[in-house]
Amino acid sequence: MNAEDKTKITVDIYGNQYKLKASTSTNYMKRVAEYVNEQMFRIAKGYPHLDSQKVAVLAAVNMADDCFRMNEVMEELNKIQKEQQATQAAYDKLQQTYNELQQELANNQEQMKEQAASIQFAADQELEQLKQQLDQGKQQQEQVKRQLNQEKQQQDLLKQQLDQEKNQHMQLRKQLEQEKQRT
Residue 12 pLDDT: 94
Reported as a single tens digit per residue, the pLDDT across 145-177 is 999 999 999 999 999 999 998 898 889 888 888
Residue 4's pLDDT band, with cuts at 50, 70 and 90, is low
CA dist 161 → 150, 166, 172 (Å): 16, 8, 16
Residue 180 pLDDT: 82
Reported as a single tens digit per residue, the pLDDT across 29-63 is 999 999 999 999 999 999 999 999 999 999 999 99
Q: Are 15 and 40 in contact (CB under 8 A)?
A: no
Reported as a single tens digit per residue, the pLDDT across 62-112 is 999 999 999 999 999 999 999 999 999 999 999 999 999 999 999 999 999
Cα(3)–Cα(6) distance, integer angstroms: 5
CA dist 92 → 70, 82, 85, 95, 103 (Å): 32, 15, 10, 5, 16
Q: Are 83 and 94 in contact (CB under 8 A)?
A: no
Backbone conformation region of residue 21, classed left if phi is above 0, alpha if psi is from -120 to 50, else beta = beta
Residue 23, phi then psi, degrees to nearest 5: -95, 25
Q: Are 9 and 26 in contact (CB under 8 A)?
A: yes
Residue 176 pLDDT: 84
- The model's pTM: 0.51
